[in-house]
Structure formats: structure tokens, C-alpha cells
Structure 1
């Protein structure tokens, strides 16, 4: 801003034309920077509606894979126990194996999702840690 020796603000409260032009130029430069950042972010991010609905899919997939493994193992163990008269041992063993299989499926699906989303994670801006 112009400094004519009277302080930062003129007595009548009006700005000089030079000050107005300087503010307009800075405002235009800030607007251009903001537009560039918005365009860069739009390339990386998905639309909000798509993001909110599609993020539930992998969560339900992970949970259902784990539950199905336990249920199938338990059902198969229960049926084999009834067939061979070994209750509850085969059911216990197969529930544990079903849990292990379901957990393995969840880990595989999570690794697949991680590799699919890795470019988005690398493109995201870094955040400074408050502890540093």
C-alpha cells in the first residue's frame, strides 16, 4: 500500500487508485492459484456422492468374507460331527480353519485394494505432523 507519511490508513477512509489496483492484482493472483489447486485436487479425488457409496462396498466384502469362512467351516464341521459322531471336535477344528481361511481372504482383498489405491495415496498432499 502507498505510504504518504500519514500512517497506513488515510483520514477520510478511502484508498488510493494504486492501492486498489494492487489489491485487485493480488486478488486475481490468489484466485488463479486457488483454481489451479482445485483443478489438481479434482484430478485426484472422486466425486463426493461416488466416494460415500462406493467406500461401503469393500468394508462389506471384507466382513462377509470373514463371516462366510466361519459359517461354512462351522456348518461343515457340524455335519461331519453328526455323520461320524465326533461332536464337537470336527466342528471346533473346522470353525478355526474357516476363520483362518476367511482371514486370509480378507488380507488378500485388502492387499489388492491397497495396490489399486496406491497412486491416489502417493498423489495426496503430505500433512505435517503436529508432534514435530
Structure 2
């Protein structure tokens, strides 16, 4: 080490401490990448199931209501088929949610 070198490194430019620091940083980055890979991949099916449940909750009653409204306008039986189809869409949505909830989120 020279007194003129403000970094305090030996004359080779790279100290022995830096090589071990580089190794530790590399190991820490690899461990972090492995942790993120496991954490990112693990709950994926759970999120997919949640999205499916949300879709069923919205699409079931909405689809039934739209179909019932269209048939009511066509047949002139307003609002009875709208109510029947809204109820049946809700029942189908809850049945599908029950099926989704029985799947394992591995």
C-alpha cells in the first residue's frame, strides 16, 4: 500500500478483500434471485383462482341479466325473465365458485 493511494488498496489495484466481497455479493444475488423465483412462482395458481372467482361473480349475474333483458324485450314479458335469468346466473356463478374453491392451489 502506498501513502499516495487514497483508496488504501495495494499496488495491484484490487485488494484481497474486494475479491471476497465480490464473491459474497454474487452469492447474495443468486440467493435473492432464487428466493424471488420461488416466491413469484408459488402463489400464481392462487392468484389465478382468485381472478376466476372474481370473473364468475361479475359475469354470471351480468350475463344472466343481459340475456333475460333481451328475451324480455323480444317476448314482451318484462321484468320476469330478467329476474329469472339474473337469479339463475347468480346460482350458476356460485356453483362454479364452489367448484373452483375445491381445487388445490399448489
- TM-score under structure 1 length normalisation: 0.48
Residue deviations 1:9-55, cap 9 Å, x none?
Answer: xxxxxxxxxxxxxxxxxxxxxxxxxxxxxxxxxxxxx9112135443
Distance 1:55 1:109, change over 3 A: closer
d(CA) in 2 for partners of 1:48, 1:112: 20
Q: Is the 8 A contact 1:69 1:101 kept in 2?
A: yes
Query: What is the DSSP-based 3-state SS (H/G/I as helix, E as strand, rest coil) of the residue aligned with 2:72?
Result: helix
Structure 2 residue 55 is matched with structure 1 residue 64? yes
Report what 2:90 is aligned to: 99
Structure 2 residue 77 is matched with structure 1 residue 86? yes
Paired residues in the alignment total: 70
Report what 1:120 is aligned to: none
d(CA) in 2 for partners of 1:53, 1:104: 23
**Which of structure 1's runs of 4+ aligned residues deviate more than 6 A?**
none
Report what 2:42 is aligned to: 51
What is the RMSD computed on CA atoms of the aligned residues? 1.9
Report what 1:128 is aligned to: none
d(CA) in 2 for partners of 1:53, 1:111: 17
Q: Comparing both chains, which one has the higher relative contact order based on Cα–Cα distances under 8 Å and sequence gaps of 6 or more?
A: 2
Query: What is the DSSP-based 3-state SS (H/G/I as helix, E as strand, rest coil) of the residue aligned with 1:87?
Result: coil
Segments of 5+ residues of structure 1 without an aligned counterpart are: 1-45, 118-132
Segments of 5+ residues of structure 2 without an aligned counterpart are: 1-36
